[in-house]
Amino acid sequence: MRAMVWSGVGAPLELRDVPTPTPKPDQLLLKVHACAVCRTDLHVIDGELARPKANLILGHQIVGTVEQAGAAVEGVRLGARVGVPWLGWTDGVCRFCRSGRENLCDKAQFTGYDLDGGYAEYVVADHRFCLPVPETFQDLEAAPLLCAGLIGFRSYRLAGDAARIGFYGFGAAAHILIQVAKYEGREVYAFVRPGDDAGRESALRLGAVWAGGSDEKPPQELDAAIIFAPVGALVPAALAAVSKGAPVVCGGIHMSDIPRFPYELLWGERLVRSVANLTREDGRTFLQLAPRIPIRTQVRRFPLEQANAALSAFRAGEIEGSAVLTP
């Protein structure tokens, strides 16, 4: 099969012919139809996440069809369409897994990081972590739901029942979650890069009641804020924007250092918390909700061999919504 292979920090992805993987007893072999690009892919390439797999195939927002099932897999139909998210395997027996917090499993393995991912024509995945994709979504539309949607949705749920919620960073996740918030009757306040008029206009067009730079304060206090951008300086900014008792949720796997800030910003029972990965329950809940809204994703398609161009455009902020690779 063809795959875009990453050999280490500083190296571009290289198109190679590699052996098509063979599924282990508990795995499925999937023919990849679409794989969305994620900021986590950039964190891996830039060396900001330690110890990725050697000669790695990136990609963890995969939509594909089942070509072959391992010997121990039952009840999976060949040709079925499934999605593969970031969380690719857990041990199932640790205290986190047994208490419904498999996203915190110490032995967890992640798609496109510990395990080869979807920047390829085929991928193998643990059948337990393959999620059914709603029929109403085309392959390209569905791919961003597998991370921008799922981890964004976990962040959103941890923000509580906020009537006024701030989104810091208006990328792929915010494009999806603003639709959930509107569906539930909440007001979204969007924070974009200072001077990003196009981003501000995009947020307003999608239904934000206010949009401004991340260096601005909203016109009224917020009940919660989610930080999608990997910028530690946004934590004190968000704390200054929310009311007493409100949570500030950090939705990324990596963030630059948080600068010092006065205790006054945290006082009043404000809360700062991170989001780690996702659970299968997050996936099932969100993918059942998405067609009811219905969520519409904005995508820009790139052929598989143009993965480096897709990553560069994503890094430069030139993608409105999500970049999606197709073999």
Residue 246's pLDDT band, with cuts at 50, 70 and 90, is very high
What average pLDDT does this structure show over 64-70?
Answer: 98
The partner residues of 131 in beta bridges, in order of sequence, read 83
List, edge to edge, every strand of the sheet that includes 247-250: 210-213, 187-192, 164-168, 224-227, 247-250, 271-274
Task: Give 315-324 pLDDT, tens digit per residue.
Answer: 999 999 999 9
Could you tell me the CATH superfamily of domain 150-274? NAD(P)-binding Rossmann-like Domain (3.40.50.720)
What average pLDDT does this structure show over 119-147?
Answer: 98
d(CA 313, CA 85): 22
d(CA 145, CA 62): 9
- Domain 2-144+297-326: state its class: alpha beta
The pLDDT of residue 316: 93
Structural domain boundaries in the chain: 2-144+297-326, 150-274
Task: Give 86-113 pLDDT, tens digit per residue.
Answer: 999 999 999 999 999 999 999 999 999 9
d(CA 303, CA 237): 39
pTM here is 0.95
Coil, strand or helix at 6: strand
What average pLDDT does this structure show over 210-215?
Answer: 97
Length of the chain: 327
Of 230, 231, 225, 229, the C-alpha closest to 265 is 225
What average pLDDT does this structure show over 231-238?
Answer: 98
Strand 131-132 and strand 224-227: pairing?
Answer: unpaired
Residue 299's pLDDT band, with cuts at 50, 70 and 90, is very high
The pLDDT of residue 17: 98
What average pLDDT does this structure show over 15-34?
Answer: 98
What average pLDDT does this structure show over 144-157?
Answer: 97
Task: Give 156-201 pLDDT, tens digit per residue.
Answer: 999 999 999 999 999 999 999 999 999 999 999 999 999 999 999 9
What average pLDDT does this structure show over 234-254?
Answer: 97
Residue 34's pLDDT band, with cuts at 50, 70 and 90, is very high
In the numeric block, which tokens belong to residue 180? 């959930």
Indicate the average pLDDT of the chain: 97
d(CA 258, CA 261): 9
DSSP E strand boundaries for 48-98: 56-57, 62-69, 81-84, 87-89
The pLDDT of residue 258: 98
Strand 322-326 and strand 299-303: pairing?
Answer: parallel
Fold: same for 2-144+297-326 and 150-274 = no
**In angstroms, how far is CA 310 from the centroid of its own chain?**
16
The pLDDT of residue 223: 98
The pLDDT of residue 291: 98
Cβ atoms within 10 Å, residue 108:
20
In the numeric block, which tokens belong to residue 80? 């079925």
Widest distance between CA atoms in the chain: 59
The pLDDT of residue 121: 99
Percent of the chain with pLDDT over 90: 99
What average pLDDT does this structure show over 226-242?
Answer: 98
**In angstroms, how far is CA 291 from the centroid of its own chain?**
18
d(CA 301, CA 225): 31
The pLDDT of residue 144: 98
